[in-house]
A and B are shown apart, each in its own frame.
Chain A
Amino acid sequence: MSKLNDVNVALAKEIISRYPRKKSALIPLVHLSQEQNGYVTEEAMRHVAELVDVTPAEVYGTASFYEMFRFEPTGTYLINICGTLSCQLMGSQELMHHAEQRLGIKAGSTTPDGSITLQQAECQAACTEAPCLQVNYRHRYRVTNAELDELIDDLQSGKLTSEIPPHGTLGRQRQHIPAGRGLGVQAPESVTTAPAWLPIKAEEPK
C-alpha cells in the first residue's frame, strides 16, 4: 500500500493548486510520498504521475536526480555526517569512522534492525559548527564521538521520537493559504497585462 492516502491526496491537491503548472508540484509530492512510506516506491511515483499529469517515467526521471529521494527501504533515522571541507578540517572523517564502528555498518547502509541508515553527506550549511551531522535533516552541531554514541542510544531507545519524526518527514508545519486571501494562479500564457498596482506610465512601449 504505497499510493498516497486520502489525507495526503488532499494535501497534494492543495499543493498543486498553488502552481501555474501542475508539474511544478512534482518534487513536493514525491516528498509527500516519502513522508508517508519512508522511501519512494514505484507505486507512489505512478500515483504522483497521475496527480500532476505526467508519465511515471518523468516522475522517476526527475526524482532520481535528487539526493534526498531514496528508492529502497531506509532506516527510521537517516544519519548524514558531513564530509565537506570545514567539517573535514574539524575531524568528520574520524567521526564517520567512529559511527561505522559503533553501528557495525559501512556508510551507505542500514542497521539490520532497520532503525538507522548511515550516510556520508556534503555541506549542510552549518560550517561554523563543524563537525556537524543531520538526523532526518535535523542538525546536530560540533558532534564528539561521545555525543554521537549518546545520540544513537537515544534514537534507538525512542527518546527522541517527539523531536525527530521518522525519515521522510520534513517540515511538520505546512503552508496553508487561507481561503479568500490568496490570488490564486493563472496560466502564464493567459496573463497579458501589467499587474494592477503598476501605474500605466510604468509600461514602456515595446
Chain B
Amino acid sequence: MASVSPYPWAPGFYEDGDRPQIVTSRFKYDDSYTLDRYHATGGYEGLKRALASTPEEMHTEVRNSTLLGRGGAGFPAGVKWGFTPAGVWPRYLVVNGDESEPGTYKDRLLMELDPHQLIEGCLIACYAAGLSQCFLYVRGEMALAHERIAVALNEAYEAGYIGKNILGTDFGVDIVFHWGAGAYVVGEETALIESLEGERGMPRLKPPYFPAAIGLYGKPTIVNNVETLSNLPFIAANGSAAFTGIGTETSPGTRMIAVSGHVKRPGVYEIVNGSTTFRDLIYGEDFSQGMREGNELKAFVPGGGSAPWWTPEQLDIPFEGKEAGAAGSMLGSGAVMVMDHTADIPAAALSLVRFYAHESCGKCVPCREGGTWLYRVVERVVAGEGTDVDLATIRQVGETICPGEMPHASSSRLGLAAHPFPYKMTTICFVGPSAYVPIHSALTLFPEDFEARITRARPRIPVMAVSAGDPR
C-alpha cells in the first residue's frame, strides 16, 4: 500500500467511502504505472477475453455498455465506432490525450498513474473496430506522462501485447506515441488530426470532415478520449452488464471529476455516473466537504471552462447529460470549479475569457476578433474603467459568436427561467462560444457585481491592465 505518493490529493489517497472504482483502482499503489503491478491486478485480462471473442462480439459488448465518451461531448463510444464507412481501409485510432480544458484534471492522472490500462483500452478498441494503427496523442506540457507512457509502451511491446501477432493471434497493431506542443484547440478532434499530420492545429469543417469518414490521412479515424478508452479493459473483462450495473441506464459506469477552487478538499474523485449530484460532490464528506472556512457557495462551473455557470439553486442536479442540458449547462469534461462568496465574479469570468481569447486558432473571424474584443472590454470593466456601453458591447460581440438566446441557469433571485443548452454558433468549433459563455453567465447571474464595477465618470486614460500577460 502506498504511503508516499507524488499525488497527495489523487483518488485512492482518500481511504474513505467504498465507491466503485473502474478506472482509478490502481492509483493507490506506488508502482501503479508498472507492468508488474498491472499484471498483479488483473491487467491485460480484458484483452485476453476480447481476443477470445470475435471483433463483432466485442464491439457489441461495448455498444451494450452505453459507454459515453468522456472527453466532453458525451457520445456513446460503441455507436461512434460504427460510423466508419464499410469496406474503406485502413482505419486508424487516435487517442485524445490533449487534456487542457480549464478545470479538467483526469486524463493526465490516467496517463501518469495507469498507462497500461489506457494501452489495453486502445488494443481492445483496435481489435473490435478493425483499426490497424493507433496514435497516442499526449499533450506536450505533460513531461511525466510522456515518460510513463513511453516506458509502458516499450514494456507492452516486449511482453507481446502490442505489435505483430498479439498473444499468438492474427491480431496485430502498432501504437505510436505522439506529442503535441501546446495548443488548447487541438483537443478538438479534427484539429487533433491536423496536428498529427504536422499542420497548424486548426479544426476542419464538419461536414465533410467527420473523422469516422474522412480523418487522419483522409481515412476513417476513431478519436477517443483517454478516460473513455481506460474504461474498456473493465468492460471487456467483466462484461457490459457489470458496467451498466453501476450508475443509471442513460449514464452508466463512473466518471472522474476534478473539484477545484474554494472547497475544503479539492480533489479528483471517481463518482457513480448519472445518480451522483453536484451537492454530493461539493458538500459530501467523501468528496469535497463543502466550502473552505465555512464560506457560502456563490457559483460553480459544472463541466469545464466552456460550460455555463450554475448557482446553489442547481446543486441537486445529478451527473446526467440531459438534465444538465435542460438546466442550461453541460457536464463537459468532468471539471467542477467552485467559487465562494469572496470570489471576484467579474475577475473570475475575465480569467476564462482571456484563456479562450488566447487559445483561438484564428481560423474563424467571430472567434479570432470577437474573443480578443471580449477580453479587452471585460478587462476594462474588471479594472473599474468600464461603462454601461461596455456591458452592451460584450453582449453585442457575444451575439456575433452565438446568435440568439444563450443557455443559462434559472435564478429565483432574479426571476429568471433556465434556457437549455446548447447555443447556436457562427464558428467551426467550440472555442469561440466558450469565450462568451463565462462572461455571459457572470453577467446574467450576477448583474449587480458588474454594476458595482461600472464607473459613470469618464475613464482615465490610459486604461490600466490588471492581469499579467495578455493574449497574443
A residues in contact (CB < 8 Å) with B = 18-21, 23-28, 30-31, 52, 54, 61-63, 65-69, 80, 83-86, 88-90, 93, 96-97, 100, 106-108, 119-120, 122-130, 134, 136-139, 141, 169-178, 180-186, 188, 191-199, 202-206
Contact = CB atoms under 8 A, between A and B. Distances in A.
Interface string B158-179: 1010111000011111101111
B355 A89 contact: no
Interface residues of B, number: 94
A169 B147 CA distance: 11
A53 to B, nearest CB: 11
Contacts of B147: 171-173
15 contacts: A23-B198, A27-B179, A27-B195, A63-B181, A65-B200, A89-B343, A107-B469, A125-B139, A170-B146, A173-B146, A177-B157, A188-B219, A191-B90, A198-B55, A205-B86
Interface stretch (B148-156, B406-414, B455-463): B148-156
Contact of B140 (A31, A120, A193): A31
B56 A202 contact: yes
A136 B143 contact: yes
Given A21-B217, A181-B163, A107 B468 contact: yes
A188 B108 CA distance: 31
B200 A89 contact: no
A190 to B, nearest CB: 9
B163 A177 contact: yes
A125 B100 contact: yes
Contacts of B143: 136-138, 169-171
Contacts of A130: 260-261, 266
A17 to B, nearest CB: 10
Given A31-B179, A85-B348, A174-B150, A182 B163 contact: yes
Interface in B245-283: 258-262, 266-268
B184 A97 contact: no
Contacts of B101: 123
Contacts of B141: 68, 80, 124-125, 134, 137
B146 A186 contact: no
Nearest to A29: B198
A180 B358 CA distance: 45
